[in-house]
Copies of this chain bind each other. A is one copy, B any other.
């Protein structure tokens, strides 16, 4: 269950304060010359995002490539990579060892597994998304050669400065557009392009909502307003509007695929909060560690990366 994809498959591993975070990509087409500068740039987008607004953990995020490449060209065999955890400071978390932080995964992991890695959020840390950025960057590179481009941006965000001052955090909405995607991608009935996207986005931390095209607004429309009329544009059949977000019957129609993802506020806030510990006793915590005010900047890169993986996977399946 730590694997995503059907043909282009990413398996990830790693805890926040363990030895390393990494992944194995299976099913990547052979003979693709990887652009390591681009991959590093994508990782920097994630880091820059962090430092610009919030994060204080300093990691070089240097990717070690373990397999699947010969002179930087993909062999068709599994591409394994890792990033060592350098700046992990578990003592920050010692006090939280037996306490369930509100709206974190501490309690649920412990219920599921009987134990948890309490250091830095363990497997539930946002740091575990790093391999997604790497795999997404490779997928993007492949798609670019097919003239498929993916671009996400901030659609809505709380007041970050105010939140920081108040020791609080904010939620956000990311909108993403997949351009140049051919008609016919996606598999009925249970492998719809929309369903695969929804699954991928909800696999990102803190995601609580997903909508495609006009999404929830469509539920308020009439059919006559919501329908996308087909037209012949210079000999190519397309739709005059794009309420459907490029997907009909779960399959791409050649128009841009457009969707939005809602991220809840990061639950680690500096304000004191009441909670309970493992013994069931009420206690109070104020998170001291190094934390972000908003998942959003990182969210933009993650949404793009997931979209790229889903698109490539559907492309290889078609």
A residues contacting B by CB (< 8 A) are 1-4, 9, 11-15, 18-22, 24, 26-27, 30-31, 64-70, 73, 75-80, 82, 100, 102-105, 107-109, 111-117, 122-124, 128, 156, 158, 163, 166, 168-173, 183-192, 194-203, 205, 207-216, 218-232, 235, 237, 239, 243-245, 247-254, 262-269, 271, 273-276, 280-282, 317-318
Contacts and interface: CB of A to CB of B under 8 A. Distances in A.
Name the residue among A219, A225, A253 with the largest chain B CB count within 10 angstroms: A219
B114 A31 contact: yes
Contacts of A111: 183-184, 251, 253-254
A182 to B, nearest CB: 8
A224 B269 contact: yes
Contacts of A11: 3, 11, 24, 26, 78
B194 A202 contact: yes
B80 A189 contact: no
11 contacts: A2-B188, A4-B189, A11-B11, A15-B68, A20-B80, A105-B248, A111-B251, A112-B185, A124-B249, A195-B203, A208-B212
Given A188-B124, A218-B264, A222-B169, A103 B228 contact: yes
Nearest to A7: B317
Contacts of A250: 105, 108, 202-203
Contact of A168 (B188, B194, B224): B224
A250 B206 CA distance: 9
B1 A3 contact: no
B209 A109 contact: no
B209 A203 contact: no
A247 to B, nearest CB: 8
